[in-house]
Each structure stands twice: as structure tokens, then as C-alpha cells.
Amino acid sequence: MALDRWVALVLLGICLAYGYAAWFTMDGALAPFMRRNPIWPSTFPKVLSILGVVFSLIILLGLEKSETKIGDIDYRRLWEYHLGQALLLLALMVAYALLLRPIGFILATTGFLMGGSAILGERRWLIMLIVSGLATGVVWYLVQVVLGIFLRPLPAFMGI
């Protein structure tokens, strides 16, 4: 079996377990007034689990295969791919998660976006700073002001 089918099989198992939790365990602790709502907290996980199962089955059954073989992953030559970039991005994600509270959303997210684009090969630092700063500001505004969810914008030592 090809590598993509093995990955699809693993994802199918994860999606089935996630779907079981979403369908049978999440709704038991709902308050009585929430049971009448059309959308429950488990609605999005249910949709995600269904989509994950469907797409995993499509890959497992080979329905996505076409006649041309472009970009197949050869697991015997796995070390020829850009594993360094992938591992650096994973390390950057971990660093972002660890630094989010101490240095605040704006600095952590701007640094994550700039670092991620630098790892992927972007070298125009001014453009990276403008785009990541603008994207961070828009997301912070939407979460903080529009949704009303407190998101610490600056480092904790600044007293905000």
C-alpha cells in the first residue's frame, strides 16, 4: 500500500475516534437551555469528523487517482524532500504556542508569520513586516472587538 493510503488510514482512525467523541460524548454535559439551540458546541466537530472520514475514504479507495502521476511521494526517497523546512516550521509553531502568553498576541503572531515566511524562502523583510503586522492587527481586531474575546495584545509585564 502506498504512503498516501497509509496516512489516509491513520487519519480515518483519528477521524472516527474524533467523530465518536463529537457524536456521543460532547453533548451529554450540555445545560438544558442549550439543548434547544439549533447549533451546539459539537456541531463543528461533527462536520469535521464527517469530512475527514469522507476524504480519507476517497484516498483509501483510490477515487482521487487520475491517469497522470504528478508529484507522487516516494517514501524510499523521503530524505530528498524539504524536511528541514517542515521541521523548522513545526519548531516555530511550538515556539509560538509557548510565547503567546508571555509576549502577547501581536508580537508572537507577527514573529510567527515573519519567521514562517522566512523559512519558506521570502527575503523581502519590509514586505514581510507590513503583511504580517497587518494580518495580525486585523485578526486581533476581529477577535477582540468584533467577537468580544479578550486576547492579550502586548506582553504581560506591560500591565495590559
Count of CB atoms situated within 10 Å of the CB of 73: 11
Residue type, 148: G
- Contacts of 69 by beta carbon, 8 Å cutoff, 6+ apart: none
* 24: phi then psi, degrees, rounded to nearest 5: -115, -20
Examine the pLDDT at 131 and tell me if it is beyond 80. Answer: yes
Asked if 62 and 89 count as a contact pair (C-beta separation under 8 A), the reply is: no
Residue 118: its H or E element: helix 105-119
Give the CA count within 13 Å in the CB-facing half-sphere of 79: 1
In this prediction, residues 105-111 reach a mean pLDDT of 93
For residues 10, 90, 147 and 137, what is the CA-based torsion angle, rounded to 10 degrees? -150
pLDDT band at 150 (very low <50, low <70, confident <90, very high): confident
Cα 136 from Cα 145, distance rounded (Å): 14
* The pLDDT value given to residue 56: 94
Q: Cell triple for residue 130? A: 507590513
- Cell 508569520, residue located: 113
Does this model's pTM top 0.85? My answer is: no
* The pLDDT value given to residue 25: 83
The chain-wide mean pLDDT, for the chain, equals: 85
* The pLDDT value given to residue 83: 81
pLDDT band at 127 (very low <50, low <70, confident <90, very high): very high
Residues comprising the chain, all counted? 160
Examine the pLDDT at 68 and tell me if it is beyond 60. Answer: no
In this prediction, residues 5-12 reach a mean pLDDT of 91
